[in-house]
Amino acid sequence: MEIENIGVTMAREDLENLPDFPLPPGFSARWHRPGDEVLWRKIVGSAEKLITPFPADVFQKEFAPRADALPQRQCYLCDARGEGIATATAWFDDNHRGKPYGRIHWVAVVPEMQGRGLSKGLMSIVCQRLRDLGHERAYLATSTARIPALNLYLRFGFAPEIASKEDLEAWRKVEGLLKMPLDLRIDSQGGGE
């Protein structure tokens, strides 16, 4: 069954009691170094199946205006040989729905390494980094066709942000495919309950 790919956002209104999944043996984490733009494009470009062709300028658009923040915010997972195989960024948005939020941004694991629990460890690292950097809450943008990602984010306490009937309808289309129940009500404040 093909799932319609509709953009959605999810938020976690506090960063207390974060899940803490260790990386599997043989994998390690490191933070952005000069030149990692090429590695980021390689990882995200290979993992991204819904945006084709993957635009070459995404890294520049998303991160160049605040490149100074990357060394403390952009995480890479490496295999036993030290090769980068996954990335996620503990980014920020000073005005998401009228409030400052941390942002989980561009979570990606190369296809040959997916299904090994790496995304749970990676999410643990970047969520904790957001908290360590002083963020009180976090959000992320994803889409309804990314069922494994939606389940991961739900497991980390992120809930759908439902600010419109369109948001509500998008979540209703995938509700039965998710591993956790959803509270599907429109929130007049701009986020889910």
* Domains, the chain: 7-177 (3.40.630.30)
Q: Is 36 exposed, middle or buried (0-12, 13-18, 19+ CB in 10 A)?
A: buried
91 - beta bridge partners? 103
On whether the CB atoms of residues 24 and 91 are closer than 8 A, the answer is: no
- The structure's pTM equals 0.93
Q: What is the pLDDT of residues 115-164, one digit of tens each?
A: 999 999 999 999 999 999 999 999 999 999 999 999 999 999 999 999 99
